[in-house]
Amino acid sequence: MTSNALKIGFVGLGIMGTPMAGHLIKAGHQLFVHTLGKMPDTIASGSATQCVNARGVAERADIIFIMVPDTPDVEAALFGEGGVAAGLKGSTSAAGERKVVVDMSSISPIATKTFAQKINTLGCDYLDAPVSGGEVGAKNATLSIMVGGPEAVFERIKPLFELMGKNITLVGGNGDGQTAKVANQIIVALNIEAVAEALLFAARAGADPSRVRQALMGGFASSKILEVHGERMVKRTFDPGFRIELHQKDLNLALSSARALGVSLPNTATAQELFNSCVAHGGKAWDHSAMVRALEKLANFEIGQRPD
């Protein structure tokens, strides 16, 4: 532990949370952790202190990160029995600073604003800081982090964000980070769909999809999705990654928010239907690049298959 080590809490040690917490530990910070599933071996064998619930994390830590799947999970982690809020009451850090709750999950922007208000009433600060970059970005500490909350709190937490990510942006107030993440997921889903259509078209026309992808990588069609997920489609490597069921959740947020705002998102709706088709074929745990399988079903042809 370094002389400038902070007392940090981390709730939720899944595919993303485990490497993110690991970066904080490697930086020399003192971690207090809790997760509902099995404690990952990489965390259990390290210096982190395991707590029986999220309340115990909040009682011991000055900055508490949350990384769980969905809006109800964040609400439970914060306000359920043994939740973070119960450990925050009347508390400040050893330096006399307000404790900070940082939710890095991808959840409803509307619910986020409510959660922030409730945490503020306890005398603590709140940031919503959802991420993009998937498991690879979490492991490599190259996540994009979209933050909503007060600027002074953001500046205080930014050095910790820099241990987990590269592109770190204060978007606006509480909820705006989540809004940016929803927008991100719309773009990612539609790009996956575009890459899938293009490579499927190329393969069905008799071209080598791997070489088509290579050619497109040098032009205006180049994208991170074409680079990473295009390769997944060609090589048929659909282990997550980022699970389809999680992307479905994010698009549900987009579509429900759009209805409330009176905004039409027709292509987002199409992408969601393609994800729904994958789930109907047993693919909720597939990587979201496997959206191509829904299009392949419609074409009765798979990328990599030789045309008749």
Question: Would you please indicate which residues are annotated as catalytic (active-site) residues?
Answer: 181
**Looking at the DSSP assignment, which residues form a beta bridge with residue 34?**
11
Instruction: Tell me the three-class secondary structure of the chain, residue by residue.
Output: CCCCCCEEEEECCCCCHHHHHHHHHHCCCEEEEECCCCCCHHHHCCCCEECCCHHHHHHHCCEEEECCCCHHHHHHHHHCCCCHHHHCCCCECCCCCECEEEECCCCCHHHHHHHHHHHHHCCCEEEECCEECHHHHHHHCCEEEEEECCHHHHHHHHHHHCCCEEEEEEEECCCHHHHHHHHHHHHHHHHHHHHHHHHHHHHHCCCCHHHHHHHHCCCCCCCHHHHHHHHHHHHCCCCCCCEHHHHHHHHHHHHHHHHHHCCCCHHHHHHHHHHHHHHHCCCCCCEHHHHHHHHHHHHCCCCCCCCC
Residue type at 81? E
User: What are the C-alpha distances in Å from 20 to residues 195, 209, 263, 279, 300?
Assistant: 29, 34, 35, 28, 40
